[in-house]
């Protein structure tokens, strides 16, 4: 079986508002982050399946004959894509030598790839193919890098299998799939996320698939119909933290001071809802400075609330102070306690201010990118639409 070469990409994810509060039944807004993961799928030497993950120095190759032995009996059917095939996962773990406690990125990425590959192709001819993935996202920073990877795998392999179309037409730079195909991509990406994370919320793969902004409430994920693209800085303080520990810390604080903390969660809920309303206005009315003033105020208020919840960190205070000194507004995004923060840029924010701010933040020891939120989800690319530096990486494999 021959596969058609294709390039796909999926965005990362940030939480605009509602992190932590979402655990307690409040609304959160998850947004696509235009630091993207790119996947290049091409035919390989016959009888071989290869995956190249240069970001994490992982280069694996298997014989089709070996993989064939692991394939599940039934596979690739749409209605089966919701539940993980536990038996296949067990066989794959054994095959690549992953013990239960081993959760390193390298093994999890390999496992997710083989799982989706075998699930989609295992009942028929296994195609000889090579998948190369390059990501602009830092891993383990709460930016949905594993979901962007899973979405790319699902989109690339589903296209290769013919289960979904390849939407790119001649002369297109990029193209997106129809609703039905995206649902299938999302569903298989969720499988990948389950393998990597165990019990994911499904938000990260939904953002990677649909892009834009999603409203997340009590497990229900609803994409907002139209959203503006917002310029931001994404800053990684590089302070490692445990989401589990931070979630527990918030819970403890709520238990300790229920009458004080419950209204704070209500206020965060109202921030998400107010932000949603403002974003909707920004697509239905001319965008004004007032819209941005309000978005900035919401960011400041929520950052204080997150500090009240006990998930701040001195580096995040530094981020806020440094950007405030340039007239910019920041908040942590995700779990907090270090990790990443976002800084809103206004349309009129001068490039010199942006560059100075990035330099200030780098001087603090942080990584910092100028990017945007609210952009498209998974898409197929013509090679011409992919940045030269990424094509150059791809050309090495």
Active site (catalytic) residues: 146, 204
To its own copies, the closest distance from the beta carbon of 355 in angstroms equals 24
Phi, psi of 167 (to 5 degrees): -75, -15
State whether residue 122 is helix, strand or coil.
Answer: coil
Q: How far is CA 17 from CA 26, 240, 258, 375, 390, in A?
A: 10, 21, 21, 17, 31
To its own copies, the closest distance from the beta carbon of 309 in angstroms equals 9
Residues at the site binding its own copies, with contacts judged by CB under 8 A: 256-257, 259-261, 263-264, 266-267, 270-271, 273-274, 294, 297-298, 300-301, 304-305, 307-308, 317, 321
To its own copies, the closest distance from the beta carbon of 271 in angstroms equals 6
Element (H, E) at 12: strand 6-17
To its own copies, the closest distance from the beta carbon of 189 in angstroms equals 34
Element (H, E) at 383: none
In the complex with its own copies, the residue whose CB is nearer, 22 or 157, is 22
To its own copies, the closest distance from the beta carbon of 295 in angstroms equals 12
Phi, psi of 61 (to 5 degrees): -145, 135
In the complex with its own copies, the residue whose CB is nearer, 263 or 383, is 263
CB 187 within 8 A of CB 82: yes
Q: Which of 181, 62, 184 is nearest to 126 (CA)?
A: 62
- DSSP structure string for 31-78: EEEEEEEEEEEEE-STTEEEEEEGGGTEEEEEEHHHHHTT--SS---G
Q: Which of 107, 103, 35 is nearest to 244 (CA)?
A: 103
State whether residue 318 is helix, strand or coil.
Answer: helix
The CA R_g of the chain, rounded to the nearest whole Å, is: 21
Q: Which of 112, 3, 115 is nearest to 58 (CA)?
A: 112
In the complex with its own copies, the residue whose CB is nearer, 71 or 270, is 270
To its own copies, the closest distance from the beta carbon of 52 in angstroms equals 47
Nearest-5° Cα angle at 206, 373 to 328: 20
Residue tagged 């298997």 (tokens): 62
In the complex with its own copies, the residue whose CB is nearer, 70 or 270, is 270
CB 120 within 8 A of CB 163: yes
What is the number of other CB atoms lying within 10 angstroms of the CB of residue 256?
A: 9
To its own copies, the closest distance from the beta carbon of 17 in angstroms equals 11
In the complex with its own copies, the residue whose CB is nearer, 273 or 391, is 273
In the complex with its own copies, the residue whose CB is nearer, 174 or 267, is 267
In the complex with its own copies, the residue whose CB is nearer, 4 or 321, is 321
């Amino acid at each position: 079986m021959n596969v058609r070469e294709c390039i796909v990409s999926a965005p990362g994810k940030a939480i605009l508002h509602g992190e932590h509060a979402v655990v307690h039944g409040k609304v959160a807004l998850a947004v696509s982050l235009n630091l993207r993961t790119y996947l290049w799928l091409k035919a390989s030497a016959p009888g071989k399946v290869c995956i190249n993950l240069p970001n994490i120095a992982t280069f694996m190759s298997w014989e089709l004959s070996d993989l064939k032995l692991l394939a599940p009996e039934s596979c690739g059917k749409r209605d089966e894509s919701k539940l993980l095939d536990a038996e296949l996962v067990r066989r794959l773990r054994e095959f690549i030598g992953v013990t239960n406690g081993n959760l390193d990125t390298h093994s999890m990425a390999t496992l997710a790839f083989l799982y989706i590959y075998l699930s989609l192709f295992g009942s028929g001819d296994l195609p000889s193919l090579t998948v190369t993935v390059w990501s602009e996202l830092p891993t383990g920073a709460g930016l949905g890098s594993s979901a962007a990877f899973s979405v790319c795998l699902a989109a690339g392999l589903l296209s290769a299998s013919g289960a979904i179309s390849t939407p790119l037409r001649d002369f297109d730079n990029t193209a997106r799939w129809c609703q039905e195909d995206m649902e299938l991509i999302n569903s298989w990406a969720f499988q990948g996320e389950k393998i990597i994370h165990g019990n994911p919320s499904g938000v990260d793969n939904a953002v990677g698939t649909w892009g834009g902004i999603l409203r997340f409430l009590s497990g229900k994920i609803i994409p907002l119909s139209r959203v503006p693209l917002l310029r931001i800085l994404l800053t990684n303080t590089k302070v490692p933290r445990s989401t589990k520990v931070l979630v527990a810390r918030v819970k403890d604080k709520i238990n300790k001071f229920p009458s004080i903390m419950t209204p704070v969660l209500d206020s965060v809920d109202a921030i998400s809802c107010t932000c949603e309303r403002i974003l909707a206005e920004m697509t239905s009315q001319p965008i004004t400075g007032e819209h941005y003033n309000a978005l900035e105020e919401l960011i400041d208020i929520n950052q204080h609330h997150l500090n009240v919840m006990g998930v701040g960190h001195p580096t995040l205070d530094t981020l806020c102070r440094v950007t405030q000194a340039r007239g910019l507004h920041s908040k942590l995004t995700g779990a907090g306690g270090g990790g990443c923060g976002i800084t809103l840029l206004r349309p009129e924010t001068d490039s010199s201010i942006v560059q100075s701010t990035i330099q200030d933040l780098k001087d603090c020891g942080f990584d910092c990118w100028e990017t945007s939120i609210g952009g498209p989800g998974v898409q197929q690319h013509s090679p011409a639409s992919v940045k030269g530096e990424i094509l150059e990486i791809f050309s090495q494999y």
